[in-house]
Homo-oligomer: A and B are copies of this chain.
Amino acid sequence: MMNTIESVDSSKNLSTRERILDAAEQLFAISGFAETSMRDITKHANVNLAAINYHFGSKDDLINEVFIRCLDPIHDVLQENMDNLIKEAAEPSKALKHIVELVVIRAFQTEQQRHNGAIFMRLLNRAYNESQGKLRSFLAERYKKTLIDCVRFFRLTLPQVQRAEVFWRIHFMLGSLAFAVAGEKEIGAIGTALYQDQHNEKALLRRLTNFLVAGLQAEA
């Protein structure tokens, strides 16, 4: 039961639909959309091969649903924390470091199932690297309201930076995060081989936070 990829049905009695979404989310994040077959997903979810087409119509529609289910909760999380932040943000620069720390920790978090930051970062990167524009343009719509919240959120601690500038810096940050999450193991191993810097997640998170805070606060 402690496999690297554990079966998603484990005793929780989820519906077929949700078991498919859980399995697809994991496998797409790990292996990509084209590299993950319907047979992989249904085997992993312990459902019939035809169930994906029955519940979602097609593989492409399943991919869209996976993203919808990932993005929608982020909106809520941001809204919750926004109110708290406004109250406690006495000193903006400290507050920014606090936020970035939370984002970085979240991005590397590999919880059991929902709110798995590492899976989300991998999916996000795959979405931006997808060949056809289909998924990208689908996401662009859905993504907007989340992004508006993000920019508003970060602007609370970066009032002197223009909105469009914050918007781009958030994307630069996402790029660093996604790349670091995807390459953590390999990059860490190379670092160890070259500089005897034994890889350690805490140090990585600290380094990322330093880099990102400085980048976000850059002067125009």
Contact = CB atoms under 8 A, between A and B. Distances in A.
Given A163-B195, A176-B176, A207-B169, A140 B182 contact: no
A171 B176 CA distance: 8
A148 interface: yes
Contacts of A179: 125, 128, 171-172, 174-176, 178-179
Interface string A131-153: 10000110010011001100100
A68 interface: no
Contacts of A204: 168
A122 B128 contact: no
A1 interface: no
Interface string A188-214: 011101110100000010011011111
Q: Please tell me the size bucket of the interface on A.
A: 35 or more
A76 B174 CA distance: 31
Interface string A157-194: 00000011101110111111111101100110111011
A216 B204 CA distance: 15
Given A175-B175, A208-B172, A190 B147 contact: yes
Interface in A19-61: 30-32, 34-35
A125 B181 CA distance: 12
Contact of A171 (B131, B165, B187, B215): B187
A157 to B, nearest CB: 15
A204 B210 CA distance: 22
A129 interface: yes
B211 A191 contact: no
Interface of A: 30-32, 34-35, 122, 125-126, 128-131, 136-137, 140, 143-144, 147-148, 151, 163-165, 167-169, 171-180, 182-183, 186-187, 189-191, 193-195, 197, 204, 207-208, 210-220
